[in-house]
């Protein structure tokens, strides 16, 4: 139904583009055919975008945004995200990061014919904390109350009547548990624990602290000459203590000294008066060796008597007696005087 003349043909469909964009046609006295176009009718895609922020308005990175249709995006350092390549339709957005919760829990979004922006979430990303728990019992399996458990990072807990304890609010990391109660030793002496996850079953066995004196019966029954030079070795052992535990030796008579010098622990040594005369040490503090032993040397006085020796660790002590007896007459050598 076209009259003779000049025409410009164009093709159009909302979801297509065409090559060529147009065709110039002239009708003279006959129909014109072969005026062809090539169409590119790709399905249009859209995007959903937004931002995840904390309560202060700062962007939260590393949050995964899912659209419920298998498409995801991850927030950048500023908290923004874009889920791209979406067809028109309905989507449900959710945000996820293991250490965060989100408001709102989800967002319903409908795409019709344009990108959708402003789909924002607020994140609460509290630092997760963990706990370490266990029980302290005696050899009979009964709970031991009042034991302090330290984690090496400044946190402590005290066992209850049943011997149980819990240290809470711990950040992820490595901890060394050490039990302590005056008058007790513990097995093991410490435990290494890592969290997460929560660590339970970190148990200890408590044993009353004991001091044993080697050859005690012989020491108490064997008199020592009160000659100012004779000595008796006193070896105190504290089981399960290991090295570096301070043992205090006290005596009411004679002089006490250590056989070795240990840096870092108070230890008395020989002292002298203003005339340069030695003054007896009535007390000495000696650290245990790796076997839990400490050795003190008791030197006899010049006069007979009975010394009460007390060995102490913490609130536990043991006392015994050492007898110093008359050393007998002394031989005095006088200088030869020529007459």
Could you state, in order of their start, the residue ranges of all structural domains in the chain? Answer: 5-40, 46-124, 130-208, 212-325
Spatial contact of 314 and 248, defined as CB atoms under 8 Å apart: no
Asked if residue 198 has pLDDT above 70, the reply is yes
Mean pLDDT for the stretch of residues 122-132 = 90
pLDDT value at 259 more than 70: yes
When pLDDT is averaged across residues 16-34 and rounded to a whole number, the result is 93
pTM over 0.85: no
Q: What average pLDDT does this structure show over 288-307?
A: 94
Average pLDDT over residues 94-102: 93
Residue range 80-91: mean pLDDT, rounded: 96
Confidence of residue 42 (pLDDT cuts 50, 70, 90): confident
189-198, 279-288, 307-316: which has the minimum mean pLDDT?
Answer: 279-288
Rounded Cα distance, 216 and 322, in Å: 10
How far lies 72's CA from each of 61, 86, 172, 311, in Å? Answer: 14, 11, 29, 72
Give the separation between CA 60 and CA 100, rounded to whole angstroms: 10
Angle at 206 between CA 202 and CA 211, to 5 degrees: 145
Q: What pLDDT was estimated at residue 272?
A: 40
Q: Is the pLDDT of residue 323 over 50?
A: yes
Average pLDDT in the 308-325 region? 94
Q: What average pLDDT does range 167-174 have in this prediction? A: 95
Looking at residue 269, its pLDDT comes to 43
- Which CATH number does 46-124 carry? 2.60.40.10
CA distance 298 to 311: 12
Domain 130-208 sits in CATH 3.40.50.10330: no
Q: What is the average pLDDT across 97-104?
A: 92
- Give me the chain's average pLDDT, please: 89
CATH of 212-325, one of 3.30.300.10, 3.30.565.10, 1.10.645.10, 2.60.40.10: 2.60.40.10
- Which pLDDT does position 266 carry in this prediction? 39
Query: Which of 76-80, 87-91, 127-131 is predicted least confidently?
Result: 127-131
Which secondary-structure segment (H or E) carries 216? helix 216-221
Where is average pLDDT lowest: 218-222, 245-249, 273-277, 321-325?
A: 273-277
Give phi and psi for 216, each to the nearest 5: -60, -45
Average pLDDT of the segment spanning 107-123: 97
The CA–CA distances, whole Å, from 228 to 13, 141, 231, 299 equal 120, 51, 9, 7
Q: Do domains 46-124 and 212-325 have the same CATH topology?
A: yes
Residue 332 has pLDDT above 70, yes or no: no
Segment 31-49 shows an average pLDDT of 92
Structure confidence at residue 273 (pLDDT): 41
pLDDT at 249 exceeding the cut of 60 = yes
Q: Which of 154-158, 163-167, 214-218, 287-291 has the lowest mean pLDDT?
A: 287-291
């Amino acid at each position: 139904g076209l009259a003779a003349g000049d025409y410009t043909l164009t093709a159009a469909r909302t979801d297509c583009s065409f090559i060529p964009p147009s065709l110039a046609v002239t009708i003279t006295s006959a129909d014109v055919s072969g005026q062809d176009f090539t169409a590119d009718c790709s399905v249009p895609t859209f995007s959903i975008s937004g931002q995840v922020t904390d309560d202060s308005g700062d962007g939260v990175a590393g949050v995964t945004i899912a659209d419920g249709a298998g498409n995801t995006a991850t927030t950048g350092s500023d908290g923004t995200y874009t889920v791209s390549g979406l067809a028109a339709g309905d989507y449900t957005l959710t945000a996820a990061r293991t250490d965060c919760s989100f408001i709102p829990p989800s967002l319903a979004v409908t795409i019709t014919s344009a990108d959708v922006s402003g789909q924002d979430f607020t994140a609460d990303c509290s630092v997760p904390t963990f706990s370490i728990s266990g029980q302290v019992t005696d050899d009979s399996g009964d709970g031991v109350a009042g034991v302090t458990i330290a984690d090496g990072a400044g946190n402590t807990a005290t066992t209850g009547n049943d011997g149980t304890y819990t240290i809470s609010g711990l950040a992820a990391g490595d901890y060394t548990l050490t039990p302590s109660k005056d008058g007790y030793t513990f097995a093991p002496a410490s435990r290494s624990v890592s969290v997460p996850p929560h660590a339970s079953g970190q148990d200890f066995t408590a044993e009353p602290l004991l001091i044993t004196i080697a050859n005690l019966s012989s020491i108490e029954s064997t008199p020592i000459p009160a000659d100012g030079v004779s000595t008796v070795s006193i070896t105190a052992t504290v089981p399960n203590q290991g090295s570096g535990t301070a043992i205090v030796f006290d005596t009411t008579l004679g002089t006490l000294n250590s056989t070795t010098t240990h840096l870092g622990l108070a230890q008395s040594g020989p002292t002298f008066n203003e005339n340069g005369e030695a003054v007896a040490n009535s007390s000495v503090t000696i650290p245990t060796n790796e076997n839990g032993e400490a050795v003190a040397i008791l030197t006899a006085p010049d006069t007979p008597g009975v010394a009460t020796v007390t060995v102490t660790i913490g609130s536990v002590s043991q006392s015994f007696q050492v007898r110093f007896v008359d050393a007998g007459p002394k031989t005095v050598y006088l200088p030869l005087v020529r007459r």
